Structure 1
Amino acid sequence: MEQPRTALAERIAEQRAGVGDPRALVGEMRRSVLLVPTAEGGLWSARSGGVRWICGFTDEAALARFALHHGSGDRPWEFAALLGARIVDEVVPSLDEPAGLAVDIATEDGSMFFPPVAGIVPDGVALDVDAEGNAR
């Protein structure tokens, strides 16, 4: 029996279908507990396009799909359970480089990226806000 999708996975599906409200999606991400794999004492991330992406998963099934893609599905993965708000408000600014949140990246037609822009991360680390707090 297939596990029901989380509220965040539902908002992602709506957005990908073109019927979602972006503000509701960001709000749901902030309220959701995400499973973030840990490695070498830190949170697992990947760099792409000049951005460091912290990888979070909406449930254990999504994390397991990721583990299988990385060839280590037969061993348990250590992970932290963090609120999305904590990731984007505290972890992202601590990284000293452009960073965002990638959710369910191994879920076909179910992933979503939350880039380092105003409204998602604090203005001080948003790429679309200058040092004076003005939109670029």
Structure 2
Amino acid sequence: MARVYATSSQYTEYTGEAAPTDIDVRLRRASKFLDAQVFRLCRYDVDDDGLPTNSLVAAAFAEATCAQVEWGVEVGDVTGAAGVGWGSVEIGTAKLSRSVTATSGDEAPGRQIAPAVWDAVRSSDLTPDILWVGAVTTC
């Protein structure tokens, strides 16, 4: 089962706005995305479910997850699909084009790490003894 690092109430508290009706899906997707892109590259203590045991780390991961969901809402791309499927676009005199077959969606705004995610995991409260960002080890 996938780890989910934030709740709908944490999202509401973080944004100061009512959570979207599909907030649980968005939080699950953001948690999975951040696991793959950020958290797996960090060293921190976990419980049997793989969740952080330190309350400061857990709070930072919740904040990062909420920030990632908010980012998707703000950029208008909650799934990462906005970067897929267009070969050329014209708006007035501006013309953009690219290969449709070479586009994976990884460049889409919804597939970018929100800047506020880095703010959350690089907080000065998160000392290297409880969270080490960029540490990959094996036992």
| Structure with bigger RCO (C-alpha 8 Å, 6+ apart) | 2
More helix by share: 2
* TM-score normalized with structure 1 length: 0.28
TM-score normalized with structure 2 length = 0.28
Higher Rg of the two aligned structures: 2
